[in-house]
Amino acid sequence: MEKSPISEYLKNITTSPGVYKFLNNKDRVIYVGKAKNLKKRVRSYFTGKKSDEKTRSLVSNISRISVVLVDTESDALLLENNLIKKFKPKYNILLKDGKSYPWICIKNERFPRIFSTRKIINDGSEYFGPYTNIKTINTLLDLINNIYPIRKGNYNLNQKFINDLNNKISLRVLEKKSHFIILGFETENHNSKNLISEKKYNLIINSVKNILKGKFSKSKIRLKQQMINFSNKEEFEKALECKNKLKALENYQSKSMIVSSRIKNLDIYSIISDNNYAYINFTQVSNGFIISSFNTHVKKTNVTEDQLILEQLISQIKVKFRSKSTELCSNIFVDSMDYRKCIIPKVGDKNHLLLMSIRNIKNYKINIFKSNKNLENLDSFQKILKILKNDLNMNTLPKHIECFDNSNFQGSFPSSACVVFKNGRPSKKDYRHFNIKSVSSPDDFASMEEVVFRRYNRMIDENKSLPNLIIIDGGKGQLSSSVKSLKKLGIEQKISIVGIAKRLEEIYFYGESTPLYIDKRSPSLKLIQKLRDEAHRFSLRQYRNRRDNSFLDSELQRIPGIGEKTFLNLMKKFKSLKNIKTQKIEELNQIVGSKKAKIIYDHFNS
């Protein structure tokens, strides 16, 4: 657009909706805004007396105006947000919260996968969220995977084959005690109760979408009907599985924040401020549920009035959370073209929500104040480590802590994990998984002895620094086994080591029969518990991966005539494929019958 005197430009400016940019004498963008009527909005800056200092300063620095026309208000919202991020104009307030919040994605593909992601790709996939609390998203995904069989990978086929509509495929699923194990895709037409067709899977996805939208009734009705049908057929085990799923769904629903069935979609903004900062809470309501609550604060510089600060941030927040609401309520009057309706509720459910939003932002402000006070003192993690050092009577500050945990099921797929905390914080790049090699039977003590030896034998070989403290998830037995390994390596005097027993959270020292009981409110115990829980989570993940892979990749299942039930019976008895291979035909006969025993024996001994 050619440069022209501002007074002439204002005469010819369009009345269409769009985004406008103010530029200074160096041709730098100093302000970006949007308007339903560009002519009316832009001219308002140059007419009448401006009471606030920010507007007077802005107008005095404008040398050129540029506009971009758009078709819809949503286009203007996105364009304004993108231009603010790109140019970072001096007179715009930037939303400084740089976090990328996770979403739940239902992938645009056949047999869609469902997973959490922080990256939105415009490929037709559906996104639900964002969720400001990671625990909420994990709880939801666990609930969905518990109730429905959801594909997690490509299994035995590639993505190109799966997405080819000419290929008729079904999903083979094994359900055992209310848990699903996906065994892979089936490309032939088989009549099996363990096969899920594409049509049936899409119905499952629709049910999942309803749950993510806060609509639980259809899923609950379906589960209740299934439970009744199984009960009438006297298939009581399956009826119990449906009951457990229904209970899990109702439990999650009871914990969800239901505000009002009459409020479908509403965005709430509250703002409070002091001399230096403005504090803003955004609460998002969808289908009667609170799905997001977000707090932030901005420093007052060019803009000091709450109304102007909030009006500038609204567009950025709405884009960040992909809100589709057309109604806004706030504790102050705001003029926003992003919403058709802006209100200050005085009574009713909306007023209740607004008061809750104000309580949240006041609490956030108090926490910010406390955090700033803490920064003036010694780092809080250093304080916790000092308390832990005193509680455990250590000679050195435990800046480097490692924790071990074992996982197995009746001796099958034994796995261990080591998690590492440095300066009181997780150091995830140093986490390690271990597959147990020397132990074949269920022996937690021997497993712990093996992994501790392997871990520190390697660290010594690689000349790496050893931890100040080792925490073993278990009591005196696991602790004694770990110390054996340290003695073999000659480092038992160099590292402090303790065990934590789950029942009463007792802390055990090697060679001492009486445990230490740390105050349940002590930050040092909370740190030990955090390490223990993280080790358990990390170890369990490895165990589950090994278990699921064994179902998918077992040589046994590729033997003609050997199905899922036979495979499970053998694994339950003999624990591993290696043990099955070494069995005599008489032993196999007792588990699977003479015919299948001969097939298996001949396969491994031919």
CA 592/CA 586 separation, integer angstroms = 10
pLDDT value for 235: 80
Structure tokens at 20: 């406008």
- Of 106, 148, 140, 143, residue with least CA distance to 123: 106
At residue 171, φ and ψ (nearest 5 deg) are -105, 125
Say if residue 269's pLDDT is above 90.
yes
Structure tokens at 479: 């602790």
Select the more confidently predicted residue: 70 or 125: 125
pLDDT value for 165: 87
All domains of the chain in start order, with CATH = 6-87 (3.40.1440.10), 103-255 (no CATH), 265-376 (3.30.420), 386-548 (3.30.420.340), 554-605 (1.10.150.20)
CA 449/CA 385 separation, integer angstroms = 27
Strands 114-117 and 170-176: unpaired
User: Are 52 and 305 in contact, with CB atoms under 8 Å apart?
Assistant: yes
pLDDT value for 31: 92
Q: Residues 30-54: pLDDT tens digits?
A: 999 888 888 888 888 888 776 677 7
Other CB atoms within a 10 A radius of the CB of residue 311 amount to 21
**pLDDT-based confidence at residue 84 (cuts at 50, 70, 90):** confident
CA 387/CA 522 separation, integer angstroms = 8
CA 539/CA 419 separation, integer angstroms = 9
> What secondary structure does DSSP assign to 237-263, as a single string?
HHHHHHHHHHHHHHHHHHHS-B--TT-
At residue 541, φ and ψ (nearest 5 deg) are -60, -45
User: Are 323 and 338 in contact, with CB atoms under 8 Å apart?
Assistant: no
Element (H, E) at 561: none
CA 95/CA 575 separation, integer angstroms = 55
Q: Please state at what angle helix 585-592 crosses helix 594-605, rounded to 10 degrees.
A: 140
Cα separations (Å) of 432 from 45, 496, 528, 538? 61, 20, 18, 9
At residue 421, φ and ψ (nearest 5 deg) are -115, 130
- Of 73, 163, 83, 177, residue with least CA distance to 124: 163
Give 301's DSSP letter: S
**pLDDT-based confidence at residue 329 (cuts at 50, 70, 90):** very high
Cα separations (Å) of 201 from 66, 116, 177, 195, 394? 51, 20, 20, 10, 57
Cα separations (Å) of 341 from 310, 324, 333, 351? 16, 13, 11, 15
pLDDT value for 241: 77
**pLDDT-based confidence at residue 453 (cuts at 50, 70, 90):** very high
Give 131's DSSP letter: -
Say if residue 1's pLDDT is above 50.
no
CA 97/CA 81 separation, integer angstroms = 14
Say if residue 251's pLDDT is above 70.
no
Q: Residues 151-198: pLDDT tens digits?
A: 888 888 888 888 888 888 888 888 765 567 888 888 866 667 778 888
- Name residue 435's beta-bridge partners: 415
User: Are 218 and 189 in contact, with CB atoms under 8 Å apart?
Assistant: no
Mean pLDDT of all residues in 128-155: 80
- Of 378, 365, 280, residue with least CA distance to 331: 280
pLDDT value for 486: 93
Contacts of residue 537, defined as CB under 8 A and 6 or more positions apart, other chains included, come to none
Select the more confidently predicted residue: 440 or 507: 507
Structure tokens at 439: 């132990």
Average pLDDT across the chain, whole number: 82
CA 556/CA 574 separation, integer angstroms = 13
Alpha helices in 195-285 (DSSP H): 198-212, 217-232, 236-255
CA dihedral 235→237→241→244, nearest 10 degrees, is 120
pLDDT value for 373: 62
Cα three-residue angle 98-103-108, rounded to 5 degrees: 130
Say if residue 252's pLDDT is above 70.
no
**pLDDT-based confidence at residue 331 (cuts at 50, 70, 90):** very high
Cis bond upstream, residue 5 (ω within 30): no
Structure tokens at 543: 């165990």
Of 301-315, 346-360, 563-577, which range is least confident? 563-577
